[in-house]
Amino acid sequence: MIKASANAKTDLEDAMMTTSCAMLVSGDPARDHPIIFVNPAFTQLTGYEPSDIIGRNCRLLQGADTDVDVAADIHRAIGAGEPIRCEILNYRKNGDPFWNDLRIDPIRNKFGIVTGFVGVQFDATASHSVREAQLATELRLEDIISHVPGYVYRRILKTDGSIELSYLSPSINRTLGIARGILVTSATFYDHVHPEDRQELIRAIRQSATDLSVFREEFRLVSSTGAVRWFRSDALARLLPNGDIMWDGIAIEITAERKSETDLAFLAFHDSLTGLCNRDLFKSALLKVMSSPSRDEELAIFFIDLDSFQEINDSLGQEVGDDVLRVVGDRLTKFSKGAAGTVARLGGDEFAILIPAVSPAEPVTELALRIHAELAQPMHVMGQEIIVQACVGAAMHSRTSEISDPADVCSELMKQADLALLAAKREGRGSCLVYASDLDDRFQNRMALRQSLHNAILNDQLELHYQPLVDLASGRIVGAEALVRWNHPELGLQRPDLFIPLAEKSGFIVPLGAWVINEAMRQSQAWRLQGFTTPRISMNVSSVQLQKPGFIATIEEALANTGADPRDFEFELTEGLLIEASTEILSILSAIKAFGFWITIDDFGTGNATFKYLRDFPIDKIKIDQVFVRQLVIDSSDAFIIHAMVALARSLSVTIVAEGIETEMQREFLRREGCQVGQGYLFSMPLMAEDFGWMLQNHVALPMFTRD
């Protein structure tokens, strides 16, 4: 054994005294390891002078919050004569705590017997605080991730084409119904993707990788218990240096949102009271029959109106009236079942039946009489015997020839049935009539309108009327819808529903639409020159106009001619454009938005637009169709639909307007639901420009009088 020289020993002592590392040496284990040496760095770290601590045990550095488990580990290591490194909370002489990064090694004599220990200490308070903060952040993040209504993931598309989920947050186990702690692999995950969504999900992933675009998809996951949940995932694709594509994303559960959409769609196309189709679904069923391959058959539709139904409500109560409507619906369904018919409640006490193939053995007139007789049978409702009389109007269509435009034929057939019903009601209770041309004076006028339509602009026969949009709380005018009117020199003032379809068919809609845009902008500027505060003016635009070349040029020309500001105007589009919009139409709408115009979806709720269409469409406003507002008193389902529409508008951060407000009750209900703007005859009918300008000039609040 080599003995240390005196000089070497002195050098060692000097090194221990001058090192910046805090050091102590303990002595005889049999005497509880008393401290026999501390250097100045130790005193600087702990505040203890050598005279304070020599002869005492290191335990004096411990305190109330020192981890007993760590202290026990130190005790075991010393007892076994083993080295140990740990981090322990110690206390300075003045009582201040500090974190001690401690390394203890045994001192052995020449026989290998432990005669003491040397301890080296570092102040680890700062690094410990950083680690604690990091740990706390990680724990918070883990807690947030575990409570996200969905899961967090990292997906990698490898260069060999395989798709791997390299990370899935623990919440995926809860989502899939897999026990906590069991690893969910990529294969396991995709096994739980709904079979109908699996291929589309893979396609969307690969498309995002190809374009390096945002991956955005809605899909279903099926848990081990069979529960089906909807998720929406968004993540940006990133190209890694090795050629892999990676997505870090989150999938949020949207099951409740999807259910609301489904419920809203059902309520939008069904009557909640009777469970029957509503008018829109009835029209769809009629269109489907019209569009099916022609056969040598005739179809028929029947419009049914209950006579004096309001008397039942007034005398026996609405609850009895509701039950009567249910019984009528059941009887009509039973009547049409054998003929594969479709039954609808059109609203209030009006019903409709579609018979796709009328038997030659039973003419339509006899069918109408049978409907009347079926409803005339006494019904027992809540202890009351009630007999219902009904008027029936019918219309027929031969399916022996091809139809160039089934939608137009459907609309015409329903108008014919409605005219027949009106004529039957004029004849008295219980009347039944089948449509005939002598009931209809539209054709005579329509021919005259078509012939003179092209001269309407040249002869200054058109004018715009303005129907106010009103703040429901204050009555202040906040907008107006420009509605075109035609003062025919012989037939008088013509409604738009008569001449607009003719204009669309003839192509006249293009110059007519251009005239409306120019006139609305000109009039708005004229009001401004008079010092009026002019609200935003909305103009209706059909899909026919948008699809005609030069629409954007028409807008540019109108702006140049009038000097109008696009931000003062909006274009109203039908809800069907949300679903049917082509790439060209979307491009046009984007250009319109770029000018600064607002885009409004008119008659919302009568189509089949989902949240996804609305979210992806550049809209600013939606208008609740007046059919929901008009029936608000009768049907609780309309109240629910309106509530859902307002909530949907809020979630999209778009303005919502209710059309067709006619009573204060409707206004107050809509205001309470959160609808801020309304339009309807409660406030004002469409007004000539002079009358609307007078309202602007005098800051009129609407309605100007109370209407019950």
Q: Is residue 139 part of a domain?
A: no
Tell whether the model's pLDDT for residue 611 goes beyond 60: no
Tell whether the model's pLDDT for residue 633 goes beyond 60: no
CATH code where residue 522 lies: 3.20.20.450
Asked if 387 and 457 sit in the same domain, the reply is no
The rounded distance, in Å, linking the Cα atoms of 513 and 519 is: 10
Q: Which residues of 196-228 are buried (b: 16+ CB within 10 A; e: fewer)?
A: ebeeebeebbeebbeeeeebebbbbbbeeeeee
The rounded distance, in Å, linking the Cα atoms of 247 and 239 is: 9
CATH code where residue 361 lies: 3.30.70.270
| Interval 392-419 mean pLDDT | 83
In the prediction, which pLDDT does 1 show? 39
Residue type at position 597: F
The rounded distance, in Å, linking the Cα atoms of 436 and 395 is: 8
In the prediction, which pLDDT does 402 show? 58
The DSSP line for 605-648 is: TSS---HHHHHHS--SEEEE-HHHHHTTTT-HHHHHHHHHHHHH
Domain count, the chain: 4
Q: Is residue 172 part of a domain?
A: yes
Q: Are 107 and 33 in contact (CB under 8 A)?
A: no
Given 100, 129, 158, which residue is the final one in a domain?
A: 129
Asked if 315 and 298 sit in the same domain, the reply is yes
Of 512-516, 602-606, 643-647, minimum mean pLDDT range: 602-606
Q: Are 606 and 574 in contact (CB under 8 A)?
A: no
Q: Which of 698, 682, 678, 705 lies closest to 473, judged by CA?
A: 678
Most confident of 54-58, 549-553, 565-569, 626-630: 565-569
Residue 708's pLDDT band, with cuts at 50, 70 and 90, is: very low
Asked if 109 and 58 sit in the same domain, the reply is yes
CATH code where residue 236 lies: 3.30.450.20
Q: Is residue 406 part of a domain?
A: yes
Asked if 167 and 182 sit in the same domain, the reply is yes
Q: Are 88 and 102 in contact (CB under 8 A)?
A: yes
Q: Is residue 536 part of a domain?
A: yes
> Residue 540's domain spans which residues?
446-697
Q: Is residue 13 part of a domain?
A: no
In the prediction, which pLDDT does 489 show? 85
**Three-state SS at 295:** coil
Asked if 499 and 359 sit in the same domain, the reply is no
Which tokens is 682 given? Answer: 């409660």
In the prediction, which pLDDT does 6 show? 59
Tell whether the model's pLDDT for residue 206 goes beyond 90: yes
Asked if 372 and 500 sit in the same domain, the reply is no
Asked if 580 and 605 sit in the same domain, the reply is yes
Which tokens is 409 given? Answer: 């034929």
Q: Is residue 650 part of a domain?
A: yes
Given 440, 460, 480, which residue is the final one in a domain?
A: 440
Asked if 455 and 538 sit in the same domain, the reply is yes
Rg (CA), the chain: 41
Q: Which of 588, 512, 601, 579 lies closest to 547, judged by CA?
A: 588
Q: Is residue 525 part of a domain?
A: yes
In the prediction, which pLDDT does 557 show? 96
Q: Is residue 484 part of a domain?
A: yes
Q: How far is CA 560 from the centre of its chain?
A: 38
Asked if 533 and 615 sit in the same domain, the reply is yes
| Interval 199-223 mean pLDDT | 94
In the prediction, which pLDDT does 441 show? 62
Tell whether the model's pLDDT for residue 498 goes beyond 80: no
Given 440, 475, 504, which residue is the final one in a domain?
A: 440
Tell whether the model's pLDDT for residue 33 goes beyond 70: yes
Q: Which residues, 6+ apart, have CB-to-CB distance to 165 below 8 Å? A: 153, 154, 155, 156, 184, 185, 186, 189
Asked if 195 and 48 sit in the same domain, the reply is no
In the prediction, which pLDDT does 539 show? 97
Asked if 541 and 642 sit in the same domain, the reply is yes
Mean of per-residue pLDDT scores for the chain: 88
CA pseudo-torsion sign 435, 441, 443, 444: positive
Asked if 246 and 276 sit in the same domain, the reply is no
